[in-house]
Amino acid sequence: MRVKVDEDRCRGHGMCLTLCPDVFSMTDDGYAVADPEEVPAGLEDSAKEAIVNCPEQAIVETD
């Protein structure tokens, strides 16, 4: 599973970081990024929860 954060849609709420801190982080500008884009085994459910709960729907599963 791979995820990506749409930079244009993200508003920096941080919900993804709260739900899945091993995949998502915040840039110095306060926006989310997926790092690594490849979700490690065992974190898929947390990543999917972050996708569903993103207020801006800025996270997509790409693979």
CA dist 8 to 42, 46, 59, Å? 29, 23, 11
Domain limits, the chain: 3-61
- Share of residues in the chain with pLDDT > 90 (%): 94
14 closest CA partner among 55, 46, 44, 47: 55
Specify the fold of 3-61.
Alpha-Beta Plaits (3.30.70)
Does the pLDDT at position 37 exceed 90? no
Does the pLDDT of residue 47 top 90, yes or no? yes
pLDDT band at 63 (very low <50, low <70, confident <90, very high): confident
* Mean pLDDT of all residues in 3-9: 96
Provide the pLDDT for residue 17: 96
pTM over 0.75: yes
